A = this chain, B = another copy of it.
Amino acid sequence: MKEQIRKNFSSDNVVPACPAVMAALMEANADAAPAYGADAWTARLQDAASDLFERRVRIFPVATGTAANALALAATTPAFGAVLCDESAHIMQSECGAPDFYTGGARLVPIPSEDGRMTAEALAYTLDRLPVDDTQQNLPATLSLTQASEWGTVYRPATIADLAARARGRGMAVHMDGARLANAIAHLGCTPAEATWKAGVDVLALGATKNGAMAAEAVVFFDPARAEHFARRRKRGGHDWSKQRFLSAQLLAYLHDDLWLHNARQANAMAQRLAGGLFRHPGARLLYETQANEIFVLLPGPAVTHLRAAGFAFRDWRAPLGLNGTVVRLVTSYYTRIEDVDALLAALAAA
């Protein structure tokens, strides 16, 4: 089956887990191990994550990105607080109110942007409208940044540092939704430390599932003191696995030998190849710069129909007002190969 063209560009979560992750699961399945995170894998994960980030961190594995985001936000946002985020943010658009739920009803405040990356001006404008002493409005408590963004763009660390400084100046914490952090780092060429805490990030939802894991994400606290009550929050959210070794083992494999980076580079490279081909296609219009592994492209309706008829899978996306044609999202992953991209481009050319 693997010899066939892989035609599913729907998302990076439709692909299999990568072999190293599955092998790690099998290896972890030996004999008894203490439950609820007292196992050796989870202990090693603390070290591996601290090595990765060049700083002593606390890392808590969970199975989904929504859980990681919502639990992290609950640790920094009181019920009467507000989370400021880009209007496109996953926490705003795609988690059915998980942050609202986990924080006990805090408010998410969307900040408009051109391409999924909020600007310092837009943040300042919003903060200006939420003064601390206006108790009729929620208290700005957390700034949430999505890296890579929902539109496939990537913040520069300096931009993050600027945004984070503004938030911290207001006493806010800085959260990063890093569901695709690996793709962002692969694009930036910086270190994980530079992409996160050195730029002012306090707590990170670190993704792995979209980049090769079966089901493994993690909440990373760069200041261990902030993690004080996290175990109870995770437990009452139902996210404390009894056989936690099977989460930690995935993440250990993911961090081992930079698997995360290799996988992300492959995904990004395939996105670049795909974007390049689309750019050269006369009927296609790329809506955003392709920096990570997501491409949003305006295509003629018949071309879309033709691609689907040829077996390619991808999602329609709501087109911005005023555009004619169909906007589709194409997502590459570690699992995408050159021949898969080229097959899609060839089919498009034939449309």
For A237-252 the 0/1 string (1 means CB < 8 A from B) is: 1111111001100000
Contact call A100/B94, Cβ cutoff below 8 A: no
Contact call B98/A235, Cβ cutoff below 8 A: yes
Q: Is A218 an interface residue (CB 8 A)?
A: no
What residues on B are CB-neighbors of A78 within 8 Å?
Answer: 229
**Copy number of this protein in the oligomer?**
4
Contact call B29/A136, Cβ cutoff below 8 A: no
Q: Is A58 an interface residue (CB 8 A)?
A: no
What residues on B are CB-neighbors of A284 within 8 Å?
Answer: none
What residues on B are CB-neighbors of A71 within 8 Å?
Answer: 238
Q: Is A33 an interface residue (CB 8 A)?
A: yes
* CB-based nearest B residue for A125: B321
Q: In the complex, A247→B237 CA distance in Å?
A: 18
Partner of A238, one of B34, B64, B103, B241: B64
Partner of A136, one of B10, B96, B233, B241: B96
Contact call B236/A238, Cβ cutoff below 8 A: no
Contact call A29/B10, Cβ cutoff below 8 A: no
Contact call B238/A239, Cβ cutoff below 8 A: yes
Contact call B137/A94, Cβ cutoff below 8 A: yes
Instruction: Tell which of A14-22, A146-154, A264-272 binds the partner.
Output: A14-22
Give the 8 A-B residue pairs with the shortest CB-CB distance, closest first: A67-B238, A104-B104, A13-B242, A8-B32, A80-B232, A100-B105, A96-B235, A66-B238
Chain A interfacial positions (CB closer than 8 Å to B): 1-2, 6, 8, 10-11, 13-17, 22, 25-26, 29-35, 62-71, 78-80, 93-98, 100-108, 129, 135-139, 209-210, 214-215, 229, 231-233, 235-243, 246-247, 313, 318, 335
5 A–B pairs (Cβ distance < 8 Å), ordered by A: A64-B238, A79-B233, A79-B236, A96-B137, A139-B229
